Structures are given as structure tokens and as C-alpha cells.
Amino acid sequence: MALYSEKVMDHFRNPRNVGVIEDADGVGEVGNAKCGDIMKIYLKIDDDIITDVKFETFGCGSAIASSSMATELIKGKPVAEAMELTNKAVAEALDGLPDYKMHCSVLAEEAIKNALDDYYAKKSQNNN
């Protein structure tokens, strides 16, 4: 039995939305010191819709696949919907992750939530 699903391998080999958004509306970074994975998510948001999302991930294949899939799941979606994204949804969209790699999908969820928190923080500063 294969350790990783075809979807995990596909997103690992051909990750979507890799890169940096220079003038991002929200940036979220998370890291897991134990496994050495670092994820950074950049969001471009217009009228509460995520119009663009990019990521930089330093980590294992599962971390890269999780970042890639997570960005695909929130692209074009309202901010409120992106806030609801769970690591479970990321793992399911990848047709599952091995148990010991589930933390990679958790990192993806946290990075997105951090980026959205950053967006809200910047937005409230601009409204003051």
C-alpha cells in the first residue's frame, strides 16, 4: 500500500500557489521546531474575498502538499469561509495523510488563520 495518496504526491511534485505576495494584505507564519517544517502564507484580499494566496514552505513532502492544498481550498473564497478551514478538511482533500504527518495539515490551518488574523489586525489599524 502506498504511504501517500496520488493527490499528496501531485501537490508535492507540482505545488500550487508557490511564491510571495510582496504587498500582501495578510501574512501568517508558523513553524514546528520538532520536525523543522516552516510555513508562510500570503493573502491578497479584496472586498473580503481571498483573490490571491501564495505560500513558502520549508519542510517535508506532506507539509508542502498540505500548504498547496490549503491555498487551493481558500482561493477565491470569502474570508469568513477561509476562517472555517480545518486541518481535517485539508487532509481529506488530499485523500488522507499518514497519522504521523497530520501535524502538517494542522500547520497549514494555523498559517492561514495567522494570515487572516494579520489581515484583520492591519484592517483595524487602517480604520483607526
- Positions marked catalytic: 35, 104
CB atoms under 10 Å from CB of 118, counted, come to 19
3-state secondary structure 63-122: HHHHHHHHHHHHCCCEHHHHHCCCHHHHHHHCCCCCHHHHHHHHHHHHHHHHHHHHHHHH
Residue with cell string 494542522: 106
Are the CB atoms for 93 and 52 separated by under 8 Å? no
CA distance 37 to 30: 8
